[in-house]
Amino acid sequence: MPNVKVANVSKFFGNIKALENINLEVDDGEYVVLLGPSGCGKTTLLKIIAGMWEPTAGKVYIDGSDVTDLPPEDRNIGFVFQNYALFPHLNVFDNTIYGPVVRGKDSEESRRNAREMLHLVRLAARHDAFPVELSGGMQQRLAVARALTTGSSLLFLDEPLSALDAKIGAELRSEMRKMIKDLKLTAIHVTHNQEEAMEVADKIVVMRRGRVEQVGSPEQIYRNPANLFVAHFLGDANFIEAAAVDHGTRCKLKMLNWEMDIPKVKPGAYVAVVRPEKVEVGDGGAEGVVKNFRFLGGVSYVEVGIRDESVISRFPSGREYELGERVRICFKPEDVKLFKYPDEGLKEALRVD
Ligand code: ATP
């Protein structure tokens, strides 16, 4: 199975820095998602690894070989695009074998290979159906089968679910991951959808403005975001302005209309990041007023206004809250991630663009 390494890759379009010194390793059989807001450079990075664009600087390695100067057709990569690019006038089998046919390789071997691929993606019985007769999930499996007739076990997926209805897309995510894992492929998948990334990835690469902000498993990134932007982009979070002041061998963290004893940090201005499921509505802590309450089935959330800030708590449904009700919220010191208050201001640090 293939592995991929990107070393010090930069890409400029005129004076636009699309990518700045990117380093990335994708292991054999790993499912990696490039995640970030629109324009952060995800597609550019994928196209450079695929050989469709040349990097301005840096190298790309596949299976340990330097492929930086190799054309795309010699890199042996299968592609699944947003709209799957299936040919409506070709049936399932002819769609699958399209690549070898246009390359003049319509041999018995490639036909056998195409049949095997259709078998692997559970479409053998539908080999003579046309794309319009297939469900969204079947079309997606067909796109994967076609991508694999290149003989590659390296698969690139560029926003493969974004053309689908949100509910269907969400249903297909786990099916797609399972298929890719069953086929033991190495996958690089581009998306701006954080839920999709969390659900399919072994490893997420969070990007912003042409740089990699953090690389890690979904859980590592959610629990231990490297900075404010990552905390904001992956999952919901409260960002609470706080001040740390010395208090003997410990510190006091003053925030909202409340203070909390924490281990020693450098005194100064901070942003306390707390996930909504870690905020309890109860007896102690900061006092505020319910500004919003929503019942969402198994979970509910309540937004509590405290001074000019808001704190959101998400909890298993049970208790309901009235607008205007006075409540107290609290959280534990171990559930707070502290970041130095950013020089550029909190709003700018969180900006998604
Ligand atoms: P999206 O999710 O919207 O597809 P992305 O993260 O994939 O975004 P890229 O398409 O990689 O982002 O673009 C990164 C930056 O490079 C953007 O500022 C974009 O405008 C610029 N860019 C991309 N392709 C070109 C091009 N062919 N010519 C000039 N600038 C480009």
> Ligand 1 mean position to 38 CA, how many Å?
8
pLDDT of residue 1: 58
- Rounded to a whole number, what is the largest CA-CA distance in the chain? 79
299 contacts 314 by C-beta, under 8 angstroms:
yes
Nearest CA to ligand 1 atom 9: 41
With the most atoms of ligand 1 within 8 angstroms of its CB, the residue from 12, 33, 43, 81 to mutate is 43
Reference 289, options 275, 274, 307, 301; nearest CA is 307
Neighbours of 308 (CB within 10 A): 6
Nearest CA to ligand 1 atom 24: 44
pLDDT of residue 217: 97
pLDDT of residue 163: 66
Residue 276's SS3 state is helix
Nearest CA to ligand 1 atom 2: 38
With the most atoms of ligand 1 within 8 angstroms of its CB, the residue from 6, 11, 16 to mutate is 16
Residues at CB less than 6 angstroms from ligand 1: 13, 16, 18, 36, 38-44, 192
Superfamily of domain 4-231: P-loop containing nucleotide triphosphate hydrolases (3.40.50.300)
> Ligand 1 mean position to 145 CA, how many Å?
28
Q: Dig out the tokens for 151 from the structure.
A: 């003989």
pLDDT of residue 122: 86
With the most atoms of ligand 1 within 8 angstroms of its CB, the residue from 10, 13, 159 to mutate is 13
> Ligand 1 mean position to 200 CA, how many Å?
24
> Ligand 1 mean position to 40 CA, how many Å?
7
> Ligand 1 mean position to 269 CA, how many Å?
35
The model carries a pTM of 0.89
With the most atoms of ligand 1 within 8 angstroms of its CB, the residue from 17, 42, 47 to mutate is 42
pLDDT of residue 310: 95
Q: Which CATH number among 3.10.105.10, 2.40.50.140, 3.40.1190.20, 1.20.1560.10 corresponds to the domain 237-350?
A: 2.40.50.140
Residue written as token pair 């109860």:
282
Handedness of CA 296, 35, 186, 106 (dihedral sign): positive
- Residues, the chain: 353
> Ligand 1 mean position to 180 CA, how many Å?
27
Nearest CA to ligand 1 atom 25: 13
pLDDT of residue 278: 97
Instruction: For the chain, count helices (H), then strands (E).
Output: 10, 20
Residue written as token pair 């929503």:
294
Domain ranges within the chain, ordered by starting residue: 4-231, 237-350
Residue 124's SS3 state is helix
Rounded-to-integer distance, Cα 194 and Cα 201, Å: 10
Q: Dig out the tokens for 59 from the structure.
A: 């190298």
> Which DSSP letter does residue 82 get?
T
Q: What is the pLDDT of residues 129-158, one digit of tens each?
A: 999 999 888 888 888 888 888 778 899 998
DSSP string, 142-168: HHHHHHHTTS-SEEEEESTTTTS-HHH
172 contacts 161 by C-beta, under 8 angstroms:
yes
Reference 7, options 19, 20, 24; nearest CA is 24
Rounded-to-integer distance, Cα 305 and Cα 171, Å: 36
Could you tell me how far CA 122 lies from the centroid of its own chain?
Answer: 27
Blockwise average pLDDT, block size 10, the chain, 353 residues? 90 94 96 95 94 95 95 87 82 90 79 86 91 87 84 86 73 82 91 92 96 97 96 95 94 95 95 97 93 95 95 94 96 96 95 87
> Ligand 1 mean position to 174 CA, how many Å?
28
Nearest CA to ligand 1 atom 3: 38
